[in-house]
Structure 1
């Protein structure tokens, strides 16, 4: 009963109402940040180290930046949980929609989630050094890394970047104590990492995920067809269940273009995950099940709704009521 009540309360929290207008109406896509996403003077702040430049052998000719959030009271003798977030320049932006370091400060201070080390990484850019004028814009190698279904990106994370981070800061090894997240193509990159390496990442945060055909390439000459992210619902239905805990968010006004319809694609993901669980139950399969929650809103291709619910998503992943 306690678990059921907690789930119901979470559902209410994730419903994040949009901003009310003076006439009592609301505008689609208005999702205000709550207190848990704001900086508070009476809350101790972790350190955000970086940005550091990083050249990855998995993607020759590229350079990326990353930041490391070190929680208050970090103790290498007690390695904290790990959160990896794509598009690190936006995830760490103190004026942006996500403000992940502030969320971690507040939730850790309240004891709502365990101490967590954050690693925020940008996509690669095809240059010797990361361009200083990019700001919040996307580096030019983003789609090649994030929208591909192969293991290049997760190999870069697990074999190159995280070992580099581990030279200075320790973090948990157990997949259930690790989460990986992102928005848009960063979300499908996060899912691909967990799909291919559930032993490395047991939790996924997917906001406005691009489960569409961005990565698709038709067969040409001797080159075979390269699939896009719209294949995932099929793969989920036809593959053994991975031990993954996944939160999906999207809005009914998300993109609809030559790559696909984002909102429909996310609904297909949810339907496939739920079907896989139900089918396994029917077959008496004693293996793992997907732990899935979702929040559908009316936003466009924006981080706003995801940012508004991020604190509750992290509570669902690592909170006391899990």
Structure 2
């Protein structure tokens, strides 16, 4: 484990006593500066130290997230400083890292169960955000869905991470109009909330953005200030954004992965409705579909199947490992077999594992031979909405101005 200068200084201070006073001063400093502790190492790397203050006896404390990869939980245990209430673990991290994490006191150190299962929900209920962290983040979950409870995280961004300059509301920026509607789908036989945003800057036949998983972008990390800022600054054209909700965990897992019915919902129901209400364009060259995770998979599928509707695709951390039951992995890769007048942006996080990165690279390479343009991007982070929000502005600029 790398060595934190601040922890080494604490060891020395404790050796000189008195212990209670040294610890009180240390925790007061932590409360003032916030966590994780970030210290210099060299031009490109930083020391990042996660802390836990022991309020009751615990056998283990693990950090999950950020540089502490979730599939390596046994190796992410914090160490207790002997005779104190200080638990710590230090990582050497590239200075462009952005991440979210939780702490898990008395963690079982077992591998995480499959997301959405009762076992995974029960395990996650024992995770806690870092009480000294100053950048909390909550995924709100879905009311009434037992496998989609709210999730509370802590976040950090090192000094060279992609800035989130566009994300906060700005004084003097003209704000778009947001409508929240309930839309019934005859194709799918269900209903969902859809958010419809129109930029304050007007123009004939505004460009059109479809952004999947609308609830996340509306409630967890609202996208609308980002869109307001980009359009007001002239970085994006006059724009309409359609954000359909994914209903619940089971519906999302059924509808987003390469589902022809969901694609028909978009092309035959939502987009005609949005165009009728707003006068948005029907030109595929000015129509962009964007999604994350399963939504990234669905977005690329939409571009492959309906290039007459979607001329540009943004897929953030797409779940390109997916295949129907009893088929080989990477189903979508095998669907790239004809020339397409479509531009694709595929991004992936460097903390997403040795399967996500190669799968994304393979799909990008396959698309190169058939698509109008392919932009492959890597960022230093995980499967994380905080990262996706930071990366999306430059990807939207590429999508609408290329």
TM-score (normalised: structure 1): 0.73
Please report how far the alpha carbon of residue 166 of structure 1 lies from its aligned counterpart in structure 2 after TM superposition.
Answer: 3.0
Please report how far the alpha carbon of residue 92 of structure 1 lies from its aligned counterpart in structure 2 after TM superposition.
Answer: 2.2
Aligned pair partner of 2:168 in 20, 35, 38: 38
Give the corresponding residue for 1:3: none
1:308 matched to 2:325: no
Aligned pair partner of 2:252 in 142, 145, 162: 142
Give the corresponding residue for 1:110: 233
Give the corresponding residue for 2:356: 262
From the two aligned structures, give the one with the greater strand fraction. Answer: 2
Aligned pair partner of 1:82 in 208, 211, 214: 208
Equivalents in 1 of 2:223, 2:302: separation in Å? 20
Equivalents in 2 of 1:172, 1:20: separation in Å? 49
Aligned pair partner of 1:273 in 364, 367, 371: 367
Give structure 2 stretches of 5+ with no counterpart: 1-35, 47-94, 100-156
Confirm or deny: 8 A CA contact 1:33 1:307 kept in the other structure. no
CA deviation vs aligned residue, 1:96-151 (integer Å, no higher than 9, x gap): 2xx4222211111111221010000112x4xxxxxxxxxxxx4430011101x342
TM-score (normalised: structure 2): 0.59
CA deviation vs aligned residue, 1:268-317 (integer Å, no higher than 9, x gap): 1112123x15xxxxxxxxxxx43111211232211233221211111112
Aligned pair partner of 1:253 in 351, 356, 371: 351
Give the corresponding residue for 2:69: none
Q: Say how many residue pairs are matched.
A: 254
Specify whether residues 40 and 56 from structure 1 end up closer, same or farther in structure 2 by C-alpha distance, changes over 3 A only: same
Give the corresponding residue for 2:187: 58
Confirm or deny: 8 A CA contact 2:201 2:232 kept in the other structure. no
Which structure has more relative contact order (CA 8 Å, sep 6+)? It is 1
Q: Which runs of 4+ in 1 moved over 4 A?
A: none
Give the corresponding residue for 2:333: 233
Larger of the two Rg values belongs to structure: 2
1:22 matched to 2:39: yes
Confirm or deny: 8 A CA contact 1:81 1:178 kept in the other structure. yes
Aligned pair partner of 1:72 in 200, 208, 220: 200
CA deviation vs aligned residue, 1:38-90 (integer Å, no higher than 9, x gap): 2101211111111x112212212x32111001110435xx1100000000011
Please report how far the alpha carbon of residue 211 of structure 1 lies from its aligned counterpart in structure 2 after TM superposition.
Answer: 0.6
Equivalents in 2 of 1:233, 1:308: separation in Å? 27
Equivalents in 2 of 1:187, 1:174: separation in Å? 21
Give the corresponding residue for 1:291: 373
Give the corresponding residue for 2:270: 161
Please report how far the alpha carbon of residue 33 of structure 1 lies from its aligned counterpart in structure 2 after TM superposition.
Answer: 4.3
Does the residue aligned with 1:74 lie in a helix, a strand or coil? coil
Confirm or deny: 8 A CA contact 2:211 2:289 kept in the other structure. yes
Equivalents in 1 of 2:241, 2:225: separation in Å? 11
Please report how far the alpha carbon of residue 20 of structure 1 lies from its aligned counterpart in structure 2 after TM superposition.
Answer: 10
Does the residue aligned with 1:316 lie in a helix, a strand or coil? helix
Equivalents in 2 of 1:244, 1:49: separation in Å? 29
Equivalents in 2 of 1:300, 1:311: separation in Å? 18
Does the residue aligned with 1:308 lie in a helix, a strand or coil? helix
Does the residue aligned with 2:38 lie in a helix, a strand or coil? coil
Within 5 A, what are the aligned runs for 1:87-236? 87-93=213-219, 96=221, 99-123=222-246, 125=247, 138-147=248-257, 149-213=258-322, 215-218=323-326, 230-236=330-336
Equivalents in 1 of 2:271, 2:353: separation in Å? 33
Does the residue aligned with 1:63 lie in a helix, a strand or coil? strand
